Amino acid sequence: AYFDSLNFSNKIKVPALFSCGLDDKVSNPKSTFALFNHLNCDKRMQLYPNEGNDAGKDKQNSANIEFYKEVFELNGN
């Protein structure tokens, strides 16, 4: 069954990193932006203008690691 994540967006308080392929033919990017815009937490979005549903691929893994390091104040020492 389908449910809209906007229904619980007010409960999300943890930092969030989104990735969005603007050329996504499977899941319309508007839904990603809708949730992103409703969040009241530390949030960031990686945009991939020319990619689709699998946006970011290997590039996103590096972005995820850097985000976690920043959020958890990990400096590699």
Alpha-carbon distances, residue 74 vs 17, 62, 70, 77 (angstroms): 17, 15, 6, 8
Amino acid, single-letter form, for residue 58 = D
Model confidence band, residue 1 (pLDDT cutoffs 50, 70, 90): low
Pick the closest to residue 37 from 18, 53, 22, 24 (CA basis): 18
Q: 7-46 pLDDT, tens per residue? A: 999 999 999 999 999 999 998 899 899 999 999 999 999 9
Model confidence band, residue 48 (pLDDT cutoffs 50, 70, 90): very high
Confidence at residue 74, expressed as pLDDT on a 0 to 100 scale:
81
Confidence at residue 77, expressed as pLDDT on a 0 to 100 scale:
56
Confidence at residue 46, expressed as pLDDT on a 0 to 100 scale:
95
